Chains A and B, each alone.
Chain A
Amino acid sequence: MNKPQTSIFGSVYFVLMAIFLYLPIFILILFSFNDSTVLAFPLKGFTLDWYRQLGNARELLISARNSVWVGVLSSILAVALGSLAAIAMTKHHVPARNLFLSLASVPLVMPSIVLGVAMLVFFRKVLGLDLNMWLIAAAHVLISIPSTILIVMARLADFSANLEEAAMDLGANYWVTLIKVTLPISFPALVAAFLTAFTTSFDEYAMTTLITGTDTTLPVYLYSLLRFPRRLPVAVAMGSIIMIVSALLVVLAEWLRRWGTARTPKEERV
């Protein structure tokens, strides 16, 4: 496997696929500089107006701030919950382990609309709550639990229990060992899990819109803008910035994950 032959067909195909995958993104970035309120070809001319107007687009900025708030809060919680569970799953004999893992992976395989509708009914009808951002954050924790558990489990399975045993032999109790040994060792995985959860939360629309009250997140606001095309170019400008920032975040998360599992044989990486 470590003696790659060159494959002309493979390389050409990969380049074509990359063009296909990036073309829509470049088109959007192109339109964020287009001097026209209509998002259609042909292009009219170059402008930075949409980026200048960003500062005044109050609702857009508020929804972006909401999204950051929901994203940070839900990701921190998801990482905390997920990594505790991952420790239990990898380090201990947990009764009903498979049942728990199956249940925890359900959010991953459930269509967003079913999740959103079920939560809407539960929040409104059973609990009688008004929809708010705390509920959106709670729902985002749920959809990020599977990925955080998997990422942290993969990391914990990689290193031997020797370090923890040594700490305990030297007199550290269970929780001190977790905090002083296990936590630092799994740190790269925790950061990767956080970034994965944050990007998921930041981009979630299909489920979030069903449980959105008066305060909107960025994707929900962007969707509502589609009916008001005049304000769309500003949103596209913001979207371009976000796409570039999230691309950087993905590279960082991936780099951390790889760095974290660098010593793992390839077969065990997922």
Chain B
Amino acid sequence: MRDETSLNPPVSIKDGRGGIEKKLTGIPRKSQLALLVAPSALWLIILLVLPLITMIGLSFQKSAFGPGSDVFTFASYLNFWQNSAYQGLLGKSLWISLVVAVMSIVLAYPVAYFLAFHAGDKQGMLLNILIIPAWTSFLLRVLAWRLILGSNGLLNTFLIWLGVIQEPISGLFYSVNAVIITLVYIWIPFAALPIYVALLRIEPGLLEAASDLGARPWQGFFKVTLPLSIPGVLAAFLYVFIPTVGEYVTPALVGGPNGLMIGNIIWDQFMRGLDWPMGATLSLIVMLIVLLPLMFIAKAAQQTGLFGGKSE
């Protein structure tokens, strides 16, 4: 992205009519700038910042409503600290998210590589083929996986027909595995996109240089292509990992009692009216766990110019 704006000396503007304000670049009048930015800034403050602040406040309350709402307490945080069930569930959610993110990236990388280097002029069309499923109904696609993994499902029927198994495998459905398979399926297109973009940015000259210097194709891949695509891989990791940590819909639909994640407990605290302060505390803990690595990676990226010095 060009960044001429910061190079231009600030133009002082007093009167629009005199033609001082010739360019759209440069500094416009304050009122103009305010009109441009204020609506979205207000939206972000009212619907994002204030709700988050409210939730921080709620996490220190004894109860959400009634007399207990005036009592300041660390009870919810202590509860989390002492309750190994919460910690276990959080640990499991992080583990599932990690597995899902890594599997999605491993499965998506060859697709991205093929699109970037071997698809030729069909690139655009193949890219569309890849992303269209991602935009169709999330719930219905998860429902479809119930039909595939269930004990009378497509997979079992198919395997029995093949003669590989005699009895339906019952461990497929309502298990952690079902959650992982479904989520990997959901995320593959999202993981492929940033990797594809990163691969497109690699200058072909670099690979030619490597091969001119005697590198075999696999050496070229491991020494040039893979390292240069790391920003895309990291972005893909975050795209998948972050939403998965808070996921609760997929576990509720295909996970069964063993496949539940921390999001399901948060949902229960609020929607079954159990304990709003505890739910707020758990939400904040999830948010911190998710955002801290993100900030760390963003900072590292800025310092090393990992993302090609993009201005955002």
Contacts and interface: CB of A to CB of B under 8 A. Distances in A.
Contact of B118 (A4, A27, A103, A178): A4
Centre residue among B19, B118, B253, B286 by max chain A CB count within 10 A: B118
Contacts of A210: 267, 270-271
A219 B64 CA distance: 29
Nearest to B153: A41
Interface stretch (A5-13, A46-54, A186-194): A5-13
A100 B131 contact: no
A129 interface: no
Contacts of A101: 312
A134 interface: no
A57 interface: no
A268 B197 CA distance: 9
B32 A142 contact: no
Contact of A125 (B8, B35, B54, B143): B54
Contacts of B253: 226
A4 B117 contact: yes
Contacts of A92: 5, 24-28, 33, 36
Nearest to B111: A17
A10 B120 CA distance: 12
A35 interface: no
A38 to B, nearest CB: 9
A247 B136 contact: yes
B237 interface: no
Interface string A92-121: 111000101101111101111111011111
Given A81-B40, A164-B24, A239 B243 contact: no
B98 interface: no
Q: Which label, helix, strand, loop or mixed, suits the secondary structure of the B interface?
A: helix
B150 to A, nearest CB: 7
Interface in B262-305: 263, 266-267, 270-271, 276, 279-280, 283-284, 286-287, 290-291, 294
Given A25-B136, A111-B243, A165 B24 contact: yes
A81 B40 CA distance: 5
Contact of B23 (A23, A161, A243, A246): A161
Among A110, A126, A139, A169, find the residue whose CB has the most chain B CB atoms closer than 10 A: A110
Interface in B1-25: 1-2, 5-6, 8, 10, 16, 19, 21-25
B85 interface: no
B140 A222 contact: yes
A178 B50 CA distance: 32
A7 B171 CA distance: 37
Interface residues of B, number: 106
B287 A126 contact: no
Interface in B67-114: 107, 110-111, 113-114
A85 B34 CA distance: 10
A85 B207 CA distance: 40
B7 to A, nearest CB: 10
B147 A27 contact: yes
A110 B201 CA distance: 28
A21 B291 contact: no
A152 B215 CA distance: 42
Nearest to B152: A40
B197 A270 contact: yes
Interface in A15-64: 17-18, 20-25, 27-28, 31, 39-42
A179 to B, nearest CB: 13
Interface residues of A, number: 103
Contacts of A119: 47, 51
Given A5-B118, A81-B43, A169-B22, A122 B37 contact: no
Contacts of A20: 185, 188
B283 A117 contact: yes
B55 interface: yes
A258 interface: yes
Nearest to B146: A39
Nearest to A175: B32
Nearest to B204: A1
B306 interface: no
Contacts of B117: 1, 4-5, 7
Given A40-B147, A168-B21, 19 more contacts: A7-B114, A31-B147, A41-B154, A41-B157, A92-B5, A93-B10, A104-B40, A112-B243, A117-B279, A117-B283, A119-B47, A119-B51, A121-B64, A125-B65, A168-B22, A169-B19, A203-B135, A203-B138, A210-B271
23 contacts: A1-B117, A5-B117, A5-B118, A17-B188, A21-B185, A28-B140, A41-B157, A85-B41, A92-B24, A92-B25, A93-B8, A93-B27, A103-B44, A109-B290, A118-B51, A122-B55, A125-B65, A141-B43, A142-B44, A169-B19, A174-B16, A210-B270, A210-B271
Interface of B: 1-2, 5-6, 8, 10, 16, 19, 21-28, 32-33, 35-37, 39-41, 43-44, 47-52, 54-55, 58, 64-65, 107, 110-111, 113-115, 117-120, 124, 126-133, 135-141, 143-148, 150, 152-154, 157, 185, 188-189, 197, 200-201, 204, 238, 242-243, 245-249, 253, 263, 266-267, 270-271, 276, 279-280, 283-284, 286-287, 290-291, 294, 312
